[in-house]
Amino acid sequence: MNLKFLRKLSWVLALLTIISISLFAQQRQITGKVVDKKDGQPVPGVTVGIRGKTNNVSTNDKGEFALVADPSTDALVFSYVGYVRQVIPLAGKTNIMVSFVEDAQSLDEDAVVVIGYGTKKKERSIRSSSNYNRS
């Protein structure tokens, strides 16, 4: 009789262990869309990551993304060249919509020329190249 009781008890404990593990693992699929705040168009290629973790995804051509995170504790980081980097806490949400704002401090095309190992002002690079033509 003790053997039957111990078998039943072991099954109950195993079942309770499985249930408790599934309750504590709160990772869920997070989906969303990133759009330009100015015109509402989707922004493809935005890097979406979880703050403090290394797994990142990119938005598709419709501005949509999907990744697995803990909605109760994680925050998403959105970054793209020419736009302001945003950190948005999930706060229990599993579907979010992000309006991306253009960065007003982006580089002025006429003022900077990118070269192999650094940058120079455009006026200086033009003068430098004209010195090479004098032979």
Residue 9 located in a structural domain: no
Residue 33 located in a structural domain: yes
pLDDT 10s digits, 84-129: 999 999 888 889 999 988 887 755 555 556 667 765 666 655 555 5
Stretch 47-74: mean pLDDT, rounded?
91
Range of the domain at 124: 105-135
pTM of this prediction? 0.61
- Check residue 21 and give its pLDDT: 67
Same domain for 31 and 94, yes or no, is yes
pLDDT 10s digits, 9-18: 888 888 777 7
Check which CATH number belongs to the domain holding 77 and give it. Answer: 2.60.40.1120
- For residue 82, is it left (φ>0), alpha (ψ between -120 and 50) or beta? left
For 89, residues 6+ apart whose C-beta sits below 8 A from its C-beta are: 74, 75
